[in-house]
Amino acid sequence: MSGWAIEVRVPPGSRAATAARLVEWTELAVEERADGTPNILQTVNSALLPTIRQALRPAGRAIFAGMEQEEAEEFLTMLNQEAFDPIDEECDAGWWAVAAHCR
């Protein structure tokens, strides 16, 4: 145990709240700004995967939301390469979210 914790609060009605339905409990959510504008692109999420992987406990879960649906296949490939397995996915009006856990 690292001795620190991350608490994630998501605004009701946000895409992260929608994505939160993907898992009962998650350690980390990576999502868009409160106004719904994406601020973490697929390329940035992919670059952060090793850091996020290290921050999570074994078999820890994360939700990545606010990416465009067209980015799903490429990001799923990156998740696999960084030892994450998808748990579930959610699409909403062209936006895509995925919940994943560490292997």
Domain that residue 53 falls in? 15-102
pLDDT tens per residue, range 4-59: 444 555 556 665 555 555 444 445 555 545 555 445 678 888 888 888 888 888 88
User: Dihedral through CA 4, CA 35, CA 68, CA 43, nearest 10?
Assistant: -50
Average pLDDT estimate for 77-90: 94
CB atoms within 10 A of CB 103: 11
Q: What is the pTM of this model?
A: 0.65
| In contact, 63 and 88? CB cutoff 8 Å | no
Give me the pLDDT at residue 81, please: 95
Q: CA dist 32 to 15, 65, 100, Å?
A: 8, 7, 17
Number of compact structural domains in the chain: 1
Q: Is residue 27 part of a domain?
A: yes
How big is the CA angle at 22 (ends 17 and 43), to the nearest 5 degrees?
A: 80
Q: Is residue 41 part of a domain?
A: yes
